[in-house]
């Protein structure tokens, strides 16, 4: 693996860096605008998303034929490093641009591509993912939300939970059971649902951190036109799995860029802060933990580059993407622990940024497929061990 950048990759970096210098408003620079987007933060992030869209800097790795830049996986990494490095607001439509859009490109009809892709690229349509239910998380195929045919439409009834960002999303990628008698994996369809449809109720869930990052969504006789099924009727399991394959690949790049930025913030904080008459950075235990977390970030980066090299050679994402999910957990939780202890007792203030980050980091072991499930996949598919 060659870790140096090619001249065209360097040119890509310079082009985006110059665009950011010219277009990222000063008042947003250096502010992460983290957490559940609400009120003015949501307004700012929506506006920044549209600015990126107007500049042609959303969906960079989508094929040019669908309005993207056809960027390679390595260029996508460079894009994220520049975006996060400049202290730009966190991307809002992560699910749409990284998961739903590429899945529509793969599995959508021409009409669906025409209709759904451009608004995402303009930063005008935010998507959420309606997969998990109260009794269907790890065992997703056990989902009970149903869609019944009525003329040309489907009528959806049921409940989803943990749907990140549903409270401000325009569209939902929804899994529903469309054949009640088929074996559980074979009776599911993938629906593209307008979140403004009558019969949808979104209830934010207040978390221990004080944020409402995710929601319950209730569907009460929600009508979805027949041409808003992605892929085959009852073929949704296949489409969902293609979408999830993107999750641990592409989203890892975005997480990593955020971790790199957070590590630099913590280092700068330790340099700039004095406690008990000495700079934090001169405390041996602080230096030790900074080094450990740096190593975690670099290991994750190298493992990710190896994965990207595979993609760029045309290899499909395999079971090893499960390792990446385990890297998220170690790296994010290590950084959040460090962040909290650097702040000292003041970090424990409820409502404070560091405590929020710490609480959110605990969720890393669950979202995107739990640690246990990833370990099962690695044990069975990589090590060839018998099923547990
Ligand atoms: C911050 C956050 C954001 C999320 N965003 C979304 C979203 O936008 N859309 C969405 O659809 N979902 C979302 N989720 C839901 C997430 O995908 C589920 O929480 C996850 O799949 C686990 O499902 P569950 O919560 O039902 O737990 P369960 O599946 O009930 O698991 C409970 C425990 O049992 C363990 N377990 C379960 N099965 C096995 C097994 N076979 N072997 C060993 N251990 C097992 C699990 O590891 C876990 O520790 C989000 C979750 C979080 C925390």
Confidence band for 166, pLDDT divided at 50, 70 and 90: very high
CA 172 from chain center: how many Å? 14
Residue 59, φ and ψ in degrees, nearest 5: 60, 40
Pairing of the two strands 146-150 and 188-194: unpaired
The Cβ of residue 174 has, within 10 Å, a number of other Cβ atoms equal to 29
The Cβ of residue 201 has, within 10 Å, a number of other Cβ atoms equal to 12
Q: Which atom of ligand 1 is nearest to the CA of 371?
A: 47
Region at 39 (left for phi over 0; alpha for psi -120 to 50; beta for the rest)? left
Q: Which atom of ligand 1 is nearest to the CA of 132?
A: 11
- Count CA atoms closer than 13 A to 15's CA, side-chain side: 14
Q: What is the mean pLDDT of the chain?
A: 91
pTM score over 0.85:
yes
Query: Averaged over 3-21, what is the pLDDT?
Result: 94
Q: What is the pLDDT of residue 85?
A: 87
Residue nearest to atom 27 of ligand 1 (CA): 137
Determine which one of 82, 133, 213, 247 is catalytic. Answer: 247
Q: What is the pLDDT of residue 16?
A: 98
Active site residue 247: yes
Specify the higher pLDDT residue, 1 or 68. Answer: 68
Cα–ligand 1 centroid distance for 326 (angstroms): 14
Tell me the three state secondary structure of residue 213. coil
Query: Averaged over 14-30, what is the pLDDT?
Result: 91
Range from 102-116, 216-230, 352-366 carrying the lowest mean pLDDT: 352-366
Residue 89 has pLDDT above 90, yes or no: no
Nearest to 13 by CA among 64, 71, 55: 71
CA 163 from chain center: how many Å? 12
Residue with tokens 């700079």: 279
Residue 254 has pLDDT above 80, yes or no: yes
Is 205 touching ligand 1 by the criterion CB < 6 Å? no
Q: Return the axis-axis angle of helices 73-85 and 284-312, rounded to nearest 10°.
A: 150
Q: What is the pLDDT of residue 33?
A: 56
Q: Which atom of ligand 1 is nearest to the CA of 166?
A: 8
Quick: pLDDT tens for 275-291: 889 999 999 999 999 99
Residue ranges of the alpha helices (H) in the chain? 7-23, 39-54, 73-85, 94-95, 101-107, 110-121, 236-272, 284-312, 321-343, 353-362, 371-377
Is 72 touching ligand 1 by the criterion CB < 6 Å? no
Q: Which atom of ligand 1 is nearest to the CA of 370?
A: 47
Q: Is the dihedral of CA 102, 119, 59, 356 positive or negative?
A: negative
Quick: pLDDT tens for 38-55: 788 888 889 999 999 999
Assess contact for 379 and 388: CB atoms under 8 A.
Answer: yes
Residue nearest to atom 21 of ligand 1 (CA): 137
Is 359 touching ligand 1 by the criterion CB < 6 Å? no
Is 328 touching ligand 1 by the criterion CB < 6 Å? no
Cα–ligand 1 centroid distance for 192 (angstroms): 22
Q: What is the pLDDT of residue 317?
A: 67
Assess contact for 275 and 306: CB atoms under 8 A.
Answer: no
Q: Return the axis-axis angle of helices 284-312 and 321-343, rounded to nearest 10°.
A: 160
């Amino acid at each position: 693996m060659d870790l140096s950048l090619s001249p065209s990759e360097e040119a890509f970096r310079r082009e985006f860096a110059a665009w950011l210098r010219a277009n990222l408003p000063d008042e947003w620079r250096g502010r992460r605008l983290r957490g559940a987007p609400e009120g003015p933060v949501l307004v700012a992030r929506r506006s920044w998303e549209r600015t990126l869209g107007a500049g042609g800097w959303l969906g960079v790795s989508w094929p040019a034929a669908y309005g993207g830049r056809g960027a390679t996986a390595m260029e996508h990494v460079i894009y994220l490093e520049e975006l996060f490095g400049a202290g730009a607001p966190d991307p809002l439509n992560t699910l749409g641009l990284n998961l739903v859009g590429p899945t529509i490109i793969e599995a959508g009809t021409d009409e669906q591509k025409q209709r759904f892709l451009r608004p995402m690229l303009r930063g005008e349509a935010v998507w959420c993912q309606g997969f998990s239910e109260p009794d269907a998380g790890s065992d997703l195929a056990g989902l009970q939300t149903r869609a019944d045919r009525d003329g040309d439409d489907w009528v959806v009834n049921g409940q989803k939970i943990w749907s990140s960002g549903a409270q401000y999303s325009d569209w939902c990628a929804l899994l529903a059971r469309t054949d009640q008698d088929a074996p559980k994996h074979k009776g599911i369809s993938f629906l593209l649902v307008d979140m403004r449809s009558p019969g949808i109720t979104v209830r934010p869930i207040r978390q221990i951190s004080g944020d409402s990052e995710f929601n319950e969504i209730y569907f009460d006789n929600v009508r979805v036109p027949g041409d808003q099924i992605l892929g085959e009727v009852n073929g949704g399991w296949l489409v969902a799995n293609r979408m999830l394959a993107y999750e641990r690949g592409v989203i890892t790049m975005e997480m990593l860029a955020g971790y790199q930025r957070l590590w630099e913030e913590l280092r700068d904080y330790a340099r700039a802060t004095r406690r008990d008459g000495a700079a934090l950075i001169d405390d041996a235990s602080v230096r030790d933990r900074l080094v450990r977390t740096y190593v975690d970030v670099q290991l994750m980066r190298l493992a990710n580059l190896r994965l990207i090299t595979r993609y760029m050679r045309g290899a499909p994402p395999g079971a090893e993407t499960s390792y990446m999910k385990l890297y998220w957990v170690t790296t994010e939780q290590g950084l959040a622990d460090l962040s909290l202890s650097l702040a000292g007792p003041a970090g424990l203030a409820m409502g404070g940024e560091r405590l929020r980050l710490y609480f959110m980091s605990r969720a890393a072991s669950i979202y995107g497929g739990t640690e246990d499930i990833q370990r099962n996949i690695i044990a069975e598919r990589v090590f060839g061990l018998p099923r547990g």
